[in-house]
């Protein structure tokens, strides 16, 4: 195949630099007195300190900067355009630029021979011939950093390490850290092993940097910070499913640094096709990034996919099945979804020999791709893992001899599929808000339930913080009121009953305290007060009855899952210690926030996931004949969840079970196994 290489960005940069100073700064078209956030890149650390000191009345970096940014001589500060212009003229400054936002690349003619294969839910894997790939364990795992909206803790979705880089947003449960479900769905296409959605390579060692907020946006400074975090973790691949039309010198510098460290950066080309502009977004537009476009089940470029000379390859990205909130299957579209297919295929090739360079893997992927025609739409073509794997040895010989990789043209017949059913499911949701639809049974409104699940951690809920509001965060006592007992089982049951009333068109006032044994007067009052405030929220007023029920079930779910974070104990050095948020070396806690760390006594979160699923099943009517407080119980594998020597115990779960009148002997016995008085 004649290799189609991306044009260098010289011409593009020249256009963007026109009118700029040599440092790459372009004054913003705003009032000279109006403050905006800027990124300042200095030549070295000494220069950075000098600039900070010299312009200390203009630059305020106290809140906006982290070690990852400062280690790379990057400052972030609010300034006026006039102040930015002054700083930019300093010889110690490389560039000053507006800290613009990036957006997730999610949405909703070929000469190749094609053969229709009918309907297949795994068409995306089969079309790139990765469905039969051997992902058996290897000695050295390929490390992938996913810079996105976080990854919800789920069964079969293993994350090696997580970091949250969103300022002032540290109080959240790993069960629901991905409020948009964007990062979770992408991760599932790479590594999922949950029996519903098959990931490409379950042996990937996945690192998650939470940088996109609930609107799937992030300032460039946060993206840059995420890249440097990934570099620090010595990953092999960085996966980026978002972009911006705005050229950024700081972003380019971070990408260049990643490349210099041997990291392969794979990014979404963007969804500019929706807007009729077709520009490939940054960072995909940079020459040293693999830019990925999207095709549908017919191997035709998606209408939304950005096109241009910068496109390197294409992969399935339209109406693809992935895992979303609560482990449920969703159908989603966008070049965002095309990226993990390339990341997964690259990881499979790389794990054959992790000493191979990123350039070898990149060239092998591009050279082995199936040509689909127009280069600006398809780049080198549709990736083909099977063909790349077969040509691996030949490519290796060429590369080691210092030759360009030039393989025999991939002329395999393209397999196409009838995916109209899933395409129709998402066609009505293709908007800037989000291009996804769930395939959940019994019409559960997953987005409303997910919004409810994250609601207690938000300031505007009025109930953030477990110490101040234990009723909503699974804490066993009220520490600001003489350590009054808080029966989390009763609180959960109260909320579930309230949710059911909303589903009938009624309100929280329809449930009396007498209906909830074990509920204290204060808990009853606090939960009612929160519900009263919730009813005043415009979004809740506009909900259907079913959505109101789903939302309140989500709030209840937060309570049940948080119980396994905030009311648990672990055995250490001969003593059972409470698992807390604070560092306490005597208890074997050497890091902050171990209570919400899914890697610290991970069995807690396995149990929390079971509780999460039970709430979902209850909404679906699958647990209507099961006592509400049994939702804290994992019945499917008692030997796993209730061993004789448990990894953790739950404070007062037996006592609280008695208070709510639990009567099932098995549940009572299992709770006794993990009970801590």
Q: What is the 3 state secondary structure string of 111-160?
A: CCCEEECCCCCCHHHHHCCCCCCCCCCCCCCCEEEEEECCCCCECCECCC
| Same fold: 10-99 with 117-437 | no
Comparing 12-26, 205-219, 269-283, which segment has the lowest mean pLDDT?
12-26
Q: What is the fold of 10-99?
A: Alpha-Beta Plaits (3.30.70)
Quote the pTM value.
Answer: 0.85
**End-to-end Cα, the chain, rounded Å:** 70
Helix (H/G/I), strand (E/B), else coil: 204: coil
SS3 content of the chain, % helix, strand, coil (to 5): 40, 15, 45
- Percent of the chain scored above 90 by pLDDT? 74
Here the tokens at position 443 are: 């019409």
Under 8 Å between Cβ of 454 and 176 = yes
Under 8 Å between Cβ of 244 and 282 = yes
Q: Is pLDDT of 376 > 90?
A: yes
- Give pLDDT tens digits for 48-86: 999 998 998 888 765 556 778 888 889 999 999 999 999
Please tell me the distance from the alpha carbon of residue 320 to that of residue 317, in angstroms, as a whole number. Answer: 6
- Scored b (16 or more CB within 10 A) or e, 73-90 reads bbbbbbbbbebbbebbeb
Place of tokens 């699940």: 453
Please tell me the distance from the alpha carbon of residue 95 to that of residue 20, in angstroms, as a whole number. Answer: 10
Write out the E strands in 394-544. 414-416, 436-438, 477-478, 484-485
Cis status of the peptide bond prior to 157, with omega within 30 of 0: no
Under 8 Å between Cβ of 110 and 300 = yes
Query: Could you tell me the residue ranges of all domains in the chain?
Result: 10-99, 117-437, 441-676
Mean pLDDT of 308-318: 97
Predicted confidence at residue 63, as pLDDT, reads 55
Place of tokens 């990408």: 255
Comparing 238-242, 435-439, 486-490, which segment has the lowest mean pLDDT?
435-439
What torsion, rounded to 10 degrees, do the Cα atoms 28, 29, 34, 39 define? -10
Give me the CATH code for the 117-437 domain, please. Answer: 3.40.50.200
Provide the pLDDT confidence category of residue 17 given band limits of 50, 70 and 90: very low
Q: Which residues contact 22 (CB under 8 A, 6 or more apart)?
A: none
Q: Quick one: residue 11, left, alpha or beta (phi over 0 = left, psi -120 to 50 = alpha)?
A: alpha
Full strand arrangement of the beta sheet holding 648-651: 575-578, 568-572, 648-651, 675-676
Predicted confidence at residue 440, as pLDDT, reads 60
Q: Is pLDDT of 196 > 90?
A: no
Predicted confidence at residue 115, as pLDDT, reads 67
- Give pLDDT tens digits for 616-671: 999 999 998 899 999 999 998 999 999 999 999 999 999 999 999 999 999 999 99
Predicted confidence at residue 421, as pLDDT, reads 74
- Give pLDDT tens digits for 95-130: 999 998 888 776 543 335 656 666 788 899 999 999
Provide the pLDDT confidence category of residue 167 given band limits of 50, 70 and 90: confident
Here the tokens at position 311 are: 């496109």
Place of tokens 């025999």: 408
Mean pLDDT of 559-568: 98
Predicted confidence at residue 575, as pLDDT, reads 96
- Give pLDDT tens digits for 495-536: 999 999 999 999 999 999 999 999 999 999 999 999 999 999
Q: Is pLDDT of 15 > 60?
A: no
Closest C-alpha among 84, 33, 34, 28 to residue 59: 84
Helix axes 335-350, 358-367, angle to 10 degrees: 120
**DSSP code of residue 301:** B
Give catalytic residue positions: 148, 182, 336
Mean pLDDT of 198-226: 95
Under 8 Å between Cβ of 408 and 367 = no
Q: Count of residues for the chain? A: 677
Mean pLDDT of 248-271: 97
Here the tokens at position 348 are: 């499979």
Q: What is the 3-state secondary structure (H, E, C) of 406-469?
A: CCCCCCCCEEECCCHHHHHHHHCCCCCCCCEEECCHHHCCHHHHHHHHHHHHCHHHCCCCCCCC
Name residue 641's beta-bridge partners: none
Here the tokens at position 43 are: 């030549």
Helix (H/G/I), strand (E/B), else coil: 38: strand
Comparing 53-67, 160-174, 455-469, 609-623, which segment has the lowest mean pLDDT?
53-67
Q: Are strands 329-332 and 320-323 parallel, antiparallel or unpaired?
A: antiparallel
Average pLDDT score, the chain: 89
Predicted confidence at residue 409, as pLDDT, reads 92
Provide the pLDDT confidence category of residue 427 given band limits of 50, 70 and 90: very low
Closest C-alpha among 247, 283, 234, 294 to residue 106: 294
Here the tokens at position 408 are: 């025999």
Could you give phi then psi for residue 131, rounded to 5 degrees? Answer: -65, -25
Burial degree of 143 (CB within 10 A; 0-12, 13-18, 19+):
buried
Q: Is pLDDT of 428 > 60?
A: no
Mean pLDDT of 345-371: 97
Here the tokens at position 212 are: 């996109």
Here the tokens at position 575 are: 């003593």
- Percent of the chain scored above 70 by pLDDT? 88
Under 8 Å between Cβ of 258 and 286 = no
Predicted confidence at residue 170, as pLDDT, reads 58
């Amino acid at each position: 195949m004649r290799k189609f290489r991306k044009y260098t960005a010289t011409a593009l940069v020249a256009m963007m630099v026109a009118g700029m100073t040599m440092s790459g700064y372009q004054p913003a078209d705003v009032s000279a007195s109006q403050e905006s956030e800027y990124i300042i890149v200095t030549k070295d650390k000494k220069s950075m300190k000098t600039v900070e000191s010299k312009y200390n009345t203009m630059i305020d970096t106290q809140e906006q900067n982290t070690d990852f940014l400062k280690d790379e001589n990057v400052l972030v500060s609010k300034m006026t355009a006039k102040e930015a212009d002054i700083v930019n003229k300093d010889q110690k400054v490389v560039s000053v630029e507006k800290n613009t936002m990036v957006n997730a690349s999610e949405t909703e003619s070929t000469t190749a021979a094609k053969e229709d294969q009918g309907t297949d839910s795994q068409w995306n894997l089969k079309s790139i011939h990765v469905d039969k790939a051997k992902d058996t364990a290897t000695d050295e795992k390929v490390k992938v950093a996913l810079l996105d909206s976080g990854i919800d803790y789920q069964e079969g979705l293993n994350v090696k390490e997580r970091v949250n880089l969103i300022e002032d947003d540290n109080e959240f449960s790993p069960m629901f850290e991905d409020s948009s479900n964007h990062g979770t769905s992408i991760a599932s296409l790479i590594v999922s092993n949950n029996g519903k959605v098959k990931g490409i390579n379950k042996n990937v060692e996945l690192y998650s940097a939470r940088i996109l907020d609930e609107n799937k946006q992030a300032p460039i400074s946060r993206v840059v910070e995420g890249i440097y975090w990934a570099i620090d973790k010595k990953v092999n691949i960085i996966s980026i499913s978002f972009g911006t039309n705005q050229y950024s010198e700081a972003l380019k510098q971070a990408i260049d640094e990643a490349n210099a460290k041997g990291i392969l950066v794979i990014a979404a080309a963007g969804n500019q096709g929706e807007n009729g502009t077709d520009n490939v977004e940054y960072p995909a537009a940079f020459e040293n990034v693999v830019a990925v476009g999207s095709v549908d089940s017919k191997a035709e470029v998606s209408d939304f996919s950005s096109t241009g000379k910068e496109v390197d390859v294409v992969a399935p990205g339209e109406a693809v099945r992935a895992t979303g909130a609560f482990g449920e299957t969703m159908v989603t579209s966008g070049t965002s979804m095309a990226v993990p297919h390339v990341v997964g295929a690259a990881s499979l090739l790389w794990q054959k020999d992790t000493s191979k360079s990123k350039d070898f893997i990149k060239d092998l992927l591009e050279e082995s791709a199936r040509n689909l025609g127009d280069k600006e739409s398809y780049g080198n073509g549709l990736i083909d893992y099977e063909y790349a794997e077969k040509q691996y040895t030949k490519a290796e010989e060429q590369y080691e001899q210092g030759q360009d990789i030039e393989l025999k043209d991939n002329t395999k017949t393209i397999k196409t599929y009838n995916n109209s059913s899933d395409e129709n499911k998402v066609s009505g949701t293709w908007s800037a808000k989000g291009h996804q639809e769930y395939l959940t049974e019994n019409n559960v409104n997953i987005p409303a339930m997910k919004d409810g699940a994250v609601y207690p951690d938000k300031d505007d809920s009025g109930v953030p913080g477990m110490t101040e509001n234990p009723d909503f965060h699974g804490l066993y006592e009220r520490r600001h009121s003489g350590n009054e007992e808080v029966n989390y089982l009763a609180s959960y049951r109260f909320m579930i009953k309230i949710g059911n009333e909303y589903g009938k068109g009624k309100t929280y006032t329809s449930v009396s305290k007498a209906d909830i044994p074990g509920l204290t007067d204060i808990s009853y009052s606090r939960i009612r007060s929160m519900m009263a405030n919730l009813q005043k929220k415009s979004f809740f007023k506009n909900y259907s009855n079913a959505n109101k029920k789903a939302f309140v079930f989500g709030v209840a779910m937060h309570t049940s899952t948080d119980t396994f974070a905030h009311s648990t104990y672990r055995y250490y050095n001969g003593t059972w210690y409470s698992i807390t948020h604070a560092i306490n070396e005597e208890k074997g806690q050497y890091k902050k926030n171990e209570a919400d760390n899914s890697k610290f006594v991970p069995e807690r979160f396995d149990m929390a996931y079971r509780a999460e699923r039970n709430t979902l099943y209850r909404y679906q009517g699958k647990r209507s004949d099961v006592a509400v407080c049994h939702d804290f119980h994992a019945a499917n594998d008692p030997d796993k969840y209730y061993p004789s020597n448990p990894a953790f115990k739950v404070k007062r779960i037996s006592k609280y079970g008695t208070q709510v009148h639990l009567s099932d002997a098995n549940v009572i016995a299992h709770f006794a196994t993990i009970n801590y008085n």
